[in-house]
Amino acid sequence: MDEILEILEKDARVTVEEIARLIKKDVKAVKKAVKKYENEGIIVGYKAVINKELVQNKENGLRALIEVNVLPQKNLGFDHIAERIYQFPEVTSCSLLSGTYDLLLVVEGKDMHTISNFIAEKLSPMENVKGTVTHFLLKKYKEDGIILKHKEENKRIAISY
């Protein structure tokens, strides 16, 4: 992968000037390369990795991984059904898999009930969806290569008599 892309992937806040200094290239050349990557869809966005466990907000919600078995449509393959599924606002990520299941979804909802309603009312009834398996995410330890710190657990002192 290009040096510019590697730097931006690790830290999207790095300035063009810093990148130019790191790779010993002209600032104008780096700006031009970044703009080209954006226009070509190689760079599709910039984001911060948020450790939601540390955010003081009771409405952080719940995430689930959903494995989906689908029946690919003739002349359309998996892409058409995947497009229909990833249009739902609850779906934050959708990937084609090899193996037992065809698609892997990351779904977010305010609670377990919201996610189960999404599966029962929107996902499962879809034509060409043969079955699903849901895994609720309980705790994240690492995301996008970044180790997440966790709230300190209540450390109780053991009392013996």
Q: What percent of the chain has pLDDT over 90?
A: 70
pLDDT digits (tens, 9 = 90+) for 10-34: 899 999 999 999 999 999 999 999 9
Domain boundaries, the chain: 3-39, 55-139
Mean pLDDT of the chain, nearest integer: 90
> How many angstroms separate the CA atoms of 122 and 132, rounded?
12
Q: Model confidence over 87-115: pLDDT tens digits?
A: 999 999 999 999 999 999 999 999 999 99
CATH 3.30.70.920 fits 55-139, yes or no: yes
CA distance 101 to 143: 23
Q: Please tell me the predicted confidence (pLDDT) of residue 155.
A: 64
Band (61; pLDDT cuts 50, 70, 90): confident
Q: What confidence score (pLDDT) does residue 106 get?
A: 96
pTM for the whole structure: 0.78
Count other C-beta atoms under 10 Å from residue 72's C-beta: 14
Distances (CA, A) of 125 to 25, 36, 85, 112, 119: 54, 42, 12, 19, 8
